[in-house]
Structure 1
């Protein structure tokens, strides 16, 4: 099972996106665990993570967070339009493509 971690300042604003992504995963049959985390709790939630997605409102933390995430785990910023419209299906599709692309 793949694991995707969404990160924002407090872990609250990404909770709705997590719910939308979970709905999309169920509809498409993807086997994936999707979680939200506050930036301060990042290290506690990294075990087994395949991809870290940042809410666009914390894109300024990208370099700082990259240094706290294992090198083999990609860190990406969610597109602000997809985030603003809560397009969980599109965010999930991009995330799964990223994970599968890295696996070869």
Structure 2
């Protein structure tokens, strides 16, 4: 399987960096070839052009940016479940990202 690139975006990139680590660990444990990284929401455009992610997961605190990116991009863009985000459930958020990718095919 080719590497899946998953971008997380939140207000400053700090809390999503921790979630990205949990997701990366879950991917490794599940044998999923994925690169998960986090950025501040204001850098989505720049980092999209730089890294070409397969899916973008938006932190619930900046959910208002999701519609604009859903319209602009031809990849899945979704808001992370608030409870999964707050509890840093990397496995659950990874599963959601992988389901979005599977549904896109």
Instruction: Provide TM-score, normalisation by structure 2.
Output: 0.88
- In the other structure, the counterpart of 2:92 is 90
- In the other structure, the counterpart of 2:16 is 14
* Counterpart secondary structure, 2:13: coil
- Structure 2, unmatched stretches of 5+, are none
- In the other structure, the counterpart of 2:58 is 54
Q: Contact 2:8/2:39 (CA < 8 Å) preserved in 1?
A: yes
Q: For 1:1-104, what aligned pairs fall within 5 Å after superposition?
A: 1-46=3-48, 47-67=51-71, 69-70=72-73, 72-103=74-105
| Structure 1 position 28, deviation (Å) | 0.3
| Structure 1 position 56, deviation (Å) | 0.7
* Counterpart secondary structure, 1:62: helix
Greater helix share, 1 or 2? 2
| Structure 1 position 97, deviation (Å) | 1.3
* Counterpart secondary structure, 1:49: coil
Count of residue correspondences: 101
User: Any idea what the Cα deviations from partners look like across 1:45-85, whole Å, max 9, x if unmatched?
Assistant: 11321111001111122223334x42x11110000111111
User: Any idea what the Cα deviations from partners look like across 1:72-102, whole Å, max 9, x if unmatched?
Assistant: 1111000011111111001101111110221
Instruction: Provide TM-score, normalisation by structure 1.
Output: 0.89
Q: Contact 2:55/2:101 (CA < 8 Å) preserved in 1?
A: yes
